[in-house]
Amino acid sequence: MSTRVFRVGLTGGIASGKSTAAEFFGALGVPILDSDKIAREVVEPGQPPLERLVERFGPSILTPDGHLDRPALRNIVFSDPRARADLEALTHPAIGATMEARSAAAGGPYQILVIPLLVEKGLGSHVDRVLVVDCDEAQQIRRLGQRDGSSHEQAEAILRAQAPRAVRLKAADDVIHNDTGIDSMQKQVTDLHSRYLKLAAQRLRTAAASSKIPPRARRPRRKRKVPKRPRPMWPWYSSSR
């Protein structure tokens, strides 16, 4: 059985409230690993993924001071599936490796891994529970307009590029309903925190018990009888030359 810490993958559609939920878990002392933050780190100037992105998309994706111009890159890949696939192929391995390294070092009774594309990329096997933050799509569109200044059409296009709400909910082990206010979300996080502590402790007990089970006794291997060969007479080579 794996001995790594119990991990919960937190996901949800854009502007659904993932960051707020993660902050509530963090306030309870839970280590938070955010793939979006790591994605920004691995494309800092001097990092190999940024150099590979410039080779693929050209210097127009850089700001004058050499940083990644995210809006410029977004405009290139948003409507071009092949370009988006190249972007992911050039950055996701570094993001995944960094996430795993930090998870191994973070400790904690359990961890929250914030992975917006967990469902889209089939990453459920990397976590023990999938937690979806859910809200009505009309709320997402309204929040996108308030937060990012997106038009209604732009917000709808972003939602269409993500997994449908029903698909995310089907993949969920647990759901935070973010449609009744911050206080309600905080209470749901507190309840889930208690549940995850119990699940993590149960897994540790199971792992400890399995490590104490003695290995199955092996049957002694029967020695195969090898017939004795007659000892050769000296000399045992032909005397004739």
Nearest CA-CA partner of 159 in 143, 182, 175, 179: 143
Per-residue pLDDT band for 237 (boundaries 50, 70, 90) equals: very low
pLDDT on residue 223: 59
Is there a contact between 184 and 135 (Cβ–Cβ < 8 Å)?
Answer: no
Of 98-107, 130-139, 221-230, which gets the smallest average pLDDT? 221-230
User: Parallel, antiparallel, or unpaired for β 32-34 and 129-134?
Assistant: unpaired
213 by DSSP, 3-state: which?
coil
Tell me the fold of 1-31+109-207.
Rossmann fold (3.40.50)
Per-residue pLDDT band for 230 (boundaries 50, 70, 90) equals: very low
Summarised one tens digit per residue, pLDDT across range 112-121 is 999 999 999 9
Number of residues assigned to the chain: 241
- Residue in the structure block whose two tokens are 């599936």: 81
Is there a contact between 12 and 115 (Cβ–Cβ < 8 Å)?
Answer: no
Domain ranges of the chain: 1-31+109-207, 38-106
Over residues 52-65, the mean pLDDT reads 97
Amino acid at the residue 166 = A
Over residues 8-33, the mean pLDDT reads 97
Structure tokens belonging to residue 140: 């997402």
Summarised one tens digit per residue, pLDDT across range 70-126 is 989 988 998 899 999 999 999 999 999 999 999 999 999 999 999 999 999 999 999
Summarised one tens digit per residue, pLDDT across range 142-184 is 999 998 888 999 899 889 889 999 999 999 999 999 998 999 9
Is the pLDDT at 239 greater than 50, yes or no?
no
Q: Answer whether 0.85 is exceeded by the pTM.
A: no
Q: What angle do CA 108, 95, 71 make, to 5 degrees?
A: 125
